[in-house]
Amino acid sequence: MATGDFHLHSTASDGVHSPTWVMETAARNGVRFLSLTDHDTTEGLTEAGKAADRLGLRLIPGMEISTDVGKVDAHLLAYGFDTAAKELQEFMWTMRDGRKERLTKMVRILRENAMPIEESRVLEIAGEASVGRPHVARALVEKGYVASVQEAFDTWLGNGKPADVNRERLDPADSISLVHRHGGVIFIAHPIFMGEDYGAPVAQLAGWHADGIETYYKNYPPEAVRYHEELALKHSLARSGGSDYHGLGNPDDREIGDIDFPDHHVQAFLRFIDANCAHTGKKAR
């Protein structure tokens, strides 16, 4: 198990477990340094912060932002920013409204394909969270239309599938600038999902002043880790690592902290955060 995990989701967005549960499980797994990075929201950070303080963990403020680089779906991990900044919060409200509009379109497509689900039920599953595709997937499983969340994504909801609906996304350069203006840094999340030639969008994001790249990620084989390390060196990017834990039970899921993220790289990431962010979280005891 790694001592650091900087890509985690909770019920504040599309994770299954509460922020408190995520912090407690991380502590049991030996993780001492972490970030809660829910999609387009900081709503879980207050609860997570209380649990982290109680457990003696260092929690770095985080969030995952969806952008596009050309036709490529690119996710960005923001760390160490001012969570109270009005401009950031207004942006997140806009993004969450876009998610609700997207849900309406997805439900319509699924009904047209003989899989009627209720939008209200998806919102019940999401609760106070920022609604997303995993909540729709869980509604499909509940109705018996698919056997698992993974099957829902593989056949209907995944990128390019029939019920995958585009929504408004912030320009990546604007996203990076927004987070920088409020004391944070941006890391490129799971670049391997940006297509076979993901070195090209990584280069573009680095040119727009992205600060780092998620190098140590759940199921990356050694050759993928090496390539990410090469990209980091080539573009002068810092390195991060995370399990991308949601708790959905998909075949490729890893437990919190179950990543090949060497401790000296965890410490290097923390030094980078301390040197470049206005809000660095509390020190682990």
pLDDT, mean of residues 140-162: 91
Bridge pairing between strands 72-79 and 185-188: antiparallel
Q: Look at the pTM and tell me if it is higher than 0.75.
A: yes
Closest CA to 224 of 251, 244, 199: 199
What is residue 283's predicted lDDT score, i.e. its pLDDT? 62
Closest CA to 244 of 233, 252, 232, 235: 252
110 in Cβ contact with 116 (< 8 Å) = yes
Reported as a pLDDT band with limits 50, 70 and 90, residue 171 is confident
* pLDDT at 186 exceeding the cut of 50: yes
* pLDDT at 175 exceeding the cut of 80: yes
What is residue 169's predicted lDDT score, i.e. its pLDDT? 65
- Provide the token pair at 214: 């998620």
- Find all residues with CB under 8 Å of 228, minimum gap 6, and list them: 191, 213, 214, 215, 216, 217, 220, 239
What is residue 125's predicted lDDT score, i.e. its pLDDT? 87
Reported as a pLDDT band with limits 50, 70 and 90, residue 285 is very low
What is residue 20's predicted lDDT score, i.e. its pLDDT? 98
Q: Determine what percent of the chain is predicted with pLDDT higher than 90.
A: 71
Q: Which one of 132-141, 166-175, 236-245 scores highest in mean pLDDT?
A: 236-245
Strand arrangement of the beta sheet that strand 185-188 belongs to: 4-8, 33-36, 58-69, 72-79, 185-188, 212-217, 238-242
249 exposure class (CB count in 10 Å sphere: 0-12, 13-18, 19+): exposed
Closest CA to 243 of 29, 47, 73: 29
Q: d(Cα 44, Cα 67) in Å, to the nearest integer? A: 21
Dump pLDDT digits (tens) for 200-254: 999 999 999 999 999 999 989 999 999 999 999 999 999 999 999 999 888 888 9
Bridge pairing between strands 58-69 and 33-36: parallel
Q: Give the 3-state secondary structure of residue 254.
A: coil
Q: Report the Cα–Cα distance between both ends of the chain, in Å, rounded.
A: 19
* pLDDT at 29 exceeding the cut of 90: yes
What is residue 134's predicted lDDT score, i.e. its pLDDT? 85
pLDDT, mean of residues 72-100: 87
Reported as a pLDDT band with limits 50, 70 and 90, residue 168 is low
Please report the domains of the chain, with CATH numbers, ordered by start residue: 4-91+169-276 (3.20.20.140), 96-157 (1.10.150.650)
